[in-house]
């Protein structure tokens, strides 16, 4: 048991090292394969023995061997966190194909959390790639969707794939509908005080955005801004040029209640966990969002925040406790689940 835990933790640390690369490069649409890991200051490639997960950071004192540039402590923490996550899932489901699927999902979650907190971006490589991974895993591992050995091999595996696809449709669909309803109610408006988060001169920045045709004088976001694909297409005064990406993301946050990344993230969650736990995730996540948004509103006056990390937290609760929470919630309304091993669960009143 101890040897198994050490082994799976070491694998996790190595995967965490790769996730660090994904977190740094995917938001900028850069390759995670080329160029090799290197120091951003001197540009020299990191030697293989300086790239050993967990160990090398402490041996080098968290600095580049060549120029002494300080590396972020976060690289170490992500490697350690991934090692702990791998060990935790091993405890949960042991050595099994299901564990491999859950670890893939966990890796997608880790990238999601850090990129969304840092850049307000959830890369398509995570969400769309993760959704297709969920479909593939579901076809080969029917146990992911509680499809047991009844009927032919093909029937069982195709049924599992079908539940995965339905889960992706429900997961992405419910949050898409929420976003559409929210956008009908909440029109994109940028308040001048809202720009204090990224500028010491919010009045000037507001006027610059109006002059550029991205905002109307009353703060409404224009169609010119909605047509922008990324921050590089914006034209701002030289004094705001260095913060253009932050400005773009901040205004984009005001454009709608939910980002496209959140919709695709929920589709991925549904593909792995199924439609029931996708709905449970959808129901749980707002409680975390309300708490965080409320605290942030009191502290800064700004209630916008990345929603992806809270969807991840809710999905983990659904994964580990959903089998108990779903029947309990249904029982509160007089409904009890009848489980058919071939067709997942159907919620029928007794």
Asked if the model's pLDDT at residue 258 lies above 70, the reply is no
Residue 48: which pLDDT band, with cuts at 50, 70 and 90? confident
Instruction: Give the tokens for residue 216.
Output: 């109307």
Residue ranges covered by each domain of the chain: 1-87, 96-186+256-350, 192-255
Using left for φ > 0, alpha for ψ between -120 and 50, and beta otherwise, residue 27 falls in: alpha
Provide mean pLDDT across the span 75-101. 93
Residue 76, pLDDT score: 94
- Kindly compute the dihedral angle of the four CA atoms of residues 254, 260, 265, 271, in this order, to the nearest 10 degrees: 150
Q: Environment class of residue 89 by beta-carbon count within 10 Å: exposed (0-12), middle (13-18) or buried (19+)?
A: buried
Residue 300, pLDDT score: 61
Is 296 or 8 the better-scoring residue by pLDDT?
8
Residue 51, pLDDT score: 85
pTM over 0.85: no
What separation, in Å, do the N-terminal and C-terminal C-alpha atoms of the chain show?
44
Residue 148, pLDDT score: 73
Residue 289: which pLDDT band, with cuts at 50, 70 and 90? confident
CB 296 within 8 A of CB 100: no
User: Among residues 283, 286, 268, 264, which one has the least CA distance to residue 321?
Assistant: 283
Query: Rounded to whole angstroms, how far apart are CA atoms 91 and 102?
Result: 12
Is 252 or 172 the better-scoring residue by pLDDT?
172
DSSP string, 167-224: HHHHHHHHHHHHHHHHHHHS--B--GGGGGGT-S-HHHHHHHHHHTTSB-TTSBBPHH
Residue 282, pLDDT score: 93
Provide mean pLDDT across the span 218-244. 82
Provide mean pLDDT across the span 36-41. 81
Quick one: what percent of the chain has pLDDT higher than 70?
87
CB 172 within 8 A of CB 282: no
DSSP 3-state of 348 = strand
DSSP string, 33-67: SSSPSB-TTT-PBPPGGG--TTHHHHHTTTB-TTT
């Amino acid at each position: 048991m101890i040897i198994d835990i050490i082994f799976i933790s070491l694998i996790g640390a190595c995967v965490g090292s790769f996730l660090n690369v994904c977190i740094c490069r995917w938001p900028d649409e850069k390759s995670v394969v080329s160029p090799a890991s290197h120091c951003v200051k001197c540009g020299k490639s990191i030697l293989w023995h300086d790239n050993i997960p967990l160990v090398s950071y402490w041996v080098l004192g968290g600095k580049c061997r060549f120029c002494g540039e300080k590396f972020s402590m976060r690289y170490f923490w992500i490697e350690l966190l991934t090692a702990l996550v791998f060990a935790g899932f091993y405890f949960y489901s042991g050595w099994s194909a299901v564990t491999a699927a859950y670890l893939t999902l966990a890796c997608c979650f880790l990238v999601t959390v850090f990129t969304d907190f840092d850049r307000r971006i959830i890369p398509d490589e995570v969400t769309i790639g993760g959704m297709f991974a969920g479909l593939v895993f579901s076809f080969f591992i029917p146990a992911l969707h509680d499809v047991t050995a009844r009927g032919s091999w093909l029937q069982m595996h195709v049924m599992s794939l079908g539940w995965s696809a339905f889960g992706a449709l429900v997961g992405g669909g419910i949050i898409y509908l929420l976003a559409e309803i929210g956008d009908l109610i909440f029109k994109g408006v940028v308040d001048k005080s809202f720009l204090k988060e990224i500028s010491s001169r919010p009045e000037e920045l507001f006027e610059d955005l109006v002059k550029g045709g991205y905002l109307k004088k009353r703060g409404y976001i224009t169609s010119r801004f909605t047509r922008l694909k990324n921050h590089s297409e914006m034209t701002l005064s030289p004094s705001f040029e260095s913060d253009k990406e932050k400005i773009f993301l901040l205004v984009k946050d005001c454009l709608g209640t939910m980002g496209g990344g959140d919709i695709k993230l929920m589709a991925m969650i549904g593909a792995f966990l199924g439609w029931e736990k996708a709905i449970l995730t959808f129901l749980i996540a707002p409680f975390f969002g309300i708490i965080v948004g409320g605290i942030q509103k009191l502290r800064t006056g700004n209630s916008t925040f990345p929603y992806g990390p809270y969807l991840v937290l809710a999905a983990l609760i659904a994964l580990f406790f959903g089998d108990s929470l779903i029947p309990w919630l249904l029982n509160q309304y007089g409904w009890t689940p009848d489980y058919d091993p071939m067709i997942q669960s159907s919620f029928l009143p007794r």
